Amino acid sequence: MTNKSKSIIILLLVFSTLISAKNYKEIPWLKTAIDRSQEQLLAASEKYKAGKLNPRTFENGKINFANFKDWTCGFFPGSLWYMYELTNNVKFKKDAEFYTELLDQVQYRKDTHDVGFMLYCSYGNGFRLTGNENYKKVLINGSNSLMTRFHPEVGLIKSWDKRKEWQYPVIIDNMLNLEMLCEVSKITGENSYKKASVSHADKTLENHFREDNSCFHVVNYDSINGKVISKVTHQGFSNSSAWARGQGWALYGYTMMYRETRDPKYLNQARKVATFILNNPNLPADKVPYWDFNAPNIPDAPRDASAAAIYASALVELSSYVKNGKDYLDAAEKILISLSSPTYLAEKGENGLFILKHSVGNLPAKKEIDVPLNYADYYYLEALVRFMKAKEISIN
Ligand code: GLY
């Protein structure tokens, strides 16, 4: 082939990519989703700056904030980072830095497993997008703090302290904290963080799942010999029910651990959880679950948009690892379309300036029922970013 014909072929390829690539403005639901998210986030960021705290929820007409002790404190800065990634608007970067750096003290916390959520969504995204060396140090310190909760004889990271009813509780949510440890193994070259993550994921796989591939919320272990003492719930309807967000943590956690290890047993588990969720007779047609798949008052039970957003984000990623990935991507799209409809998407300036309505924090404790939540917004934006990348949809 002559150089001239090679150049023509390359030009044709570039041209065909350009004309096939879509802009978000051509997809009405996506345009609404992104534009509204920007408006809400910009307004929230301005309004809440003076208080120097990250917004958590809007309940009974009042904003509740998350300080550095609250497991949700990293999600608002994380949302700002995702919006910066989407739009390249430096205003989002500046605001993301401001709200991220409010969380400096989290890196030294050894009294909770949630440092992964708190730091990876905030400093983790910040480091990914800017390469800021100070953020890297925070992630390493935070991981060292988290590792103090990994006891080799049990083989798991302990979730909570000071709960009289449990010796060594591990909740399915804890799978998400492994992402920061895997990242810190990569950036430091020190394998112990990842080794602990693999041990935690393996033992969770062994003990958290039921025959039907749904999972328990809490498994309580013997702190000396690591044997299972009990399998119960904390935020679900009952010990044997399938708490909707918990199934999301499992789906997201095993998809992420497959990314980090390429171990097929994690992929297999993620697929089993996806099947449980997507084929469940109690999943409504819009694919936004009730707060628990076994809630007693279905179809009048509250929906949980946060669980739906977590499913969407995980399903987009899962779709890239399997041959029949289109089904997962289609399911994620369906969820995102539902969440971007007026039923779930806030009107401009409403909903305490959060993006999504209708999530459930902790129904058994009668807290945060049918409210916006910062983590619903975070996983919704993450899902939108992942979806646009998967479909090669641009914003500019
Ligand atoms: N990690 C706590 C929750 O999902 O509510």
- The sign of the dihedral angle between the CA atoms of 362, 363, 366, 368 is positive
Which candidate, 384, 291, 393, places its Cα nearest to that of 41?
A: 384
Domain boundary among 148, 177, 205: 148
Task: Find the 239 Cα to ligand 1 centroid distance in Å.
Answer: 16
Pocket perturbation via mutation, ligand 1, pick of 56, 178, 233, 245 by most ligand atoms within 8 A of CB: 245
Q: Domain check: are 163 and 126 in the same one?
A: no
Task: Find the 40 Cα to ligand 1 centroid distance in Å.
Answer: 23
Ramachandran region, residue 53 (left: φ > 0; alpha: ψ -120 to 50; beta: rest)? beta
What whole-number distance in Å separates Cα of residue 190 and Cα of residue 182? 10
Does residue 346 belong to any structural domain of this protein?
yes
- The sign of the dihedral angle between the CA atoms of 86, 89, 91, 93 is positive
Q: Which of 70, 173, 292, 304 is catalytic?
A: 173
Task: Find the 78 Cα to ligand 1 centroid distance in Å.
Answer: 16
Question: pLDDT averaged over the chain?
Answer: 96
What whole-number distance in Å separates Cα of residue 117 and Cα of residue 176? 7
Atom of ligand 1 nearest to the CA of 245: 4
Pocket perturbation via mutation, ligand 1, pick of 71, 234, 311 by most ligand atoms within 8 A of CB: 71
Confidence at residue 84, expressed as pLDDT on a 0 to 100 scale = 98
Does residue 3 belong to any structural domain of this protein?
no
Confidence at residue 324, expressed as pLDDT on a 0 to 100 scale = 84
Does residue 117 belong to any structural domain of this protein?
yes
Q: Which residue puts its alpha carbon closest to atom 5 of ligand 1? A: 361
Q: Domain check: are 73 and 42 in the same one?
A: no
For 222-249, what is each residue's pLDDT tens digit? 999 999 999 999 999 999 999 999 999 9
Atom of ligand 1 nearest to the CA of 249: 4
Global pTM reads: 0.95
Confidence at residue 11, expressed as pLDDT on a 0 to 100 scale = 59
How far apart, in Å, are the Cα atoms of 55 and each of 116, 190, 387? 19, 35, 26
Q: Which of 70, 95, 114, 292 is catalytic?
A: 114
Q: Domains in the chain: how many in total?
A: 3
Question: How many CA atoms does the CB half-sphere of 108 hold within 13 Å?
Answer: 2
What six digits make up the tokens of 113? 């497993």
Cis ω for the linkage preceding 302 (within 30 of 0):
no
Q: Which residue puts its alpha carbon closest to atom 2 of ligand 1? A: 173
Q: What is the CATH number of the domain that holds 35?
A: 1.50.10.10
Q: Is 380 exposed, middle or buried (0-12, 13-18, 19+ CB in 10 A)?
A: buried
Helix, strand, or coil (residue 148): coil
* Ligand 1 pocket residues where CB is under 6 Å: 71, 173, 235, 245
Contact 367, 357 (CB under 8 A): no
Residue 35 annotated to the active site: no
Q: Domain check: are 225 and 276 in the same one?
A: no
Task: Find the 301 Cα to ligand 1 centroid distance in Å.
Answer: 19
What whole-number distance in Å separates Cα of residue 105 and Cα of residue 317? 31
For 80-101, what is each residue's pLDDT tens digit? 999 999 999 999 999 999 999 9
Does residue 285 belong to any structural domain of this protein?
yes
Q: Domain check: are 317 and 390 in the same one?
A: yes
Does residue 5 belong to any structural domain of this protein?
no
Domain boundary among 148, 169, 202: 148
What whole-number distance in Å separates Cα of residue 262 and Cα of residue 95? 35
Tell me which residue range forms the domain holding 93: 64-148
Pocket perturbation via mutation, ligand 1, pick of 112, 118, 235 by most ligand atoms within 8 A of CB: 235
Confidence at residue 20, expressed as pLDDT on a 0 to 100 scale = 62
Atom of ligand 1 nearest to the CA of 246: 4
Confidence at residue 50, expressed as pLDDT on a 0 to 100 scale = 96
Atom of ligand 1 nearest to the CA of 306: 4
Does residue 396 belong to any structural domain of this protein?
yes
Q: Domain check: are 135 and 191 in the same one?
A: no
Does residue 12 belong to any structural domain of this protein?
no
Confidence at residue 3, expressed as pLDDT on a 0 to 100 scale = 65
Q: Domain check: are 119 and 30 in the same one?
A: no
**What residues contact residue 94 under an 8 Å CB cut-off, 6+ apart?**
none
Q: Domain check: are 42 and 73 in the same one?
A: no
Q: Domain check: are 159 and 136 in the same one?
A: no
Q: Domain check: are 328 and 356 in the same one?
A: yes
Q: Domain check: are 288 and 272 in the same one?
A: yes
Does residue 10 belong to any structural domain of this protein?
no
Q: Domain check: are 38 and 72 in the same one?
A: no
Residue 370 annotated to the active site: no
- List, for the chain, all residue ranges whose pLDDT scores fall below the cut of 70: 1-20
Atom of ligand 1 nearest to the CA of 173: 1
**Helix spans in the chain (H):** 3-20, 28-48, 75-87, 90-101, 115-119, 125-130, 133-147, 178-188, 192-207, 244-261, 264-278, 305-319, 325-339, 374-390
Domain boundary among 125, 148, 171: 148
Q: Domain check: are 268 and 386 in the same one?
A: yes
